[in-house]
Homo-oligomer: A and B are copies of this chain.
Amino acid sequence: MENSIKIVNYLLQHGIRPSIQRMAVMGYLMNHQNHPTVDVIYAALSPQIRTLSKTTVYNALNLFYEHGAVATLDIDEKGTHYDANCEIHGHFKCLQCGDIFDLFNLPNLPFDTIEADGFKVSECHICYKGYCPACAKIETESSNHK
């Protein structure tokens, strides 16, 4: 794969030694913007890397997080979701289908006013919950039929 060079560089830039497993996990995150959990990543990679251990996936993701190479998303009780896009952006979790959507057009939240109060901000999460367009539509239609 040509883009494995991109993955290696990304890891090195964040001070992370690349290994087969770490590259696979990071590669999965870069190619899947659906905020996967450990289980999802493990299930996807396990067939290719037959010896892969779930602990390794945990290790890799925790390391990525400590080095600022991924963002974490504590949005529900289904476990931590991971995102290779570390730029601040919002999320929308559909309470019906469970999908998590990215929201890129939100206004920036202030850091300065909070830091003026003495807080040191290192992360900022904005997250909506409700019904996604598809699920909201179904909801509306079924209630019309009543």
A binding-site residues for B, Cβ under 8 Å:
74-77, 80, 92, 95, 101, 103, 105-107, 109-110, 113-114, 117-133, 136-137, 139
Docked CA distance A137–B128 (Å)? 32
Q: When the two chains form their complex, are residues A119 and B107 in contact, meaning their CB atoms are under 8 A apart? A: no
Q: When the two chains form their complex, are residues B123 and A125 in contact, meaning their CB atoms are under 8 A apart? A: no
In the bound complex, residues from chain B placing their C-beta under 8 Å from that of A106 are 109-110
In the bound complex, residues from chain B placing their C-beta under 8 Å from that of A123 are 128-130
Question: Taking the nearest CB of chain B, how far is it from the CB of A35, in angstroms?
Answer: 13
Query: Which of the listed residues A80, A125, A139 has the most CB atoms from chain B within 10 Å of its own CB?
Result: A125
Docked CA distance A130–B114 (Å)? 11
Docked CA distance A136–B122 (Å)? 12
Q: When the two chains form their complex, are residues B120 and A131 in contact, meaning their CB atoms are under 8 A apart? A: yes
Docked CA distance A101–B136 (Å)? 33
Docked CA distance A123–B106 (Å)? 15
In the bound complex, residues from chain B placing their C-beta under 8 Å from that of A132 are 118-119
Question: Taking the nearest CB of chain B, how far is it from the CB of A136, in angstroms?
Answer: 4
Query: Which of the listed residues A75, A92, A130, A131 has the most CB atoms from chain B within 10 Å of its own CB?
Result: A130
Which residue of B114, B131, B133 contacts A103 across the interface (Cβ within 8 Å)? Answer: B114
Q: When the two chains form their complex, are residues B128 and A119 in contact, meaning their CB atoms are under 8 A apart? A: yes
Query: Which of the listed residues A74, A101, A123 has the most CB atoms from chain B within 10 Å of its own CB?
Result: A74
Given contacts A106-B109, A109-B107, A110-B107, contact A129 B136 (CB under 8 A): no
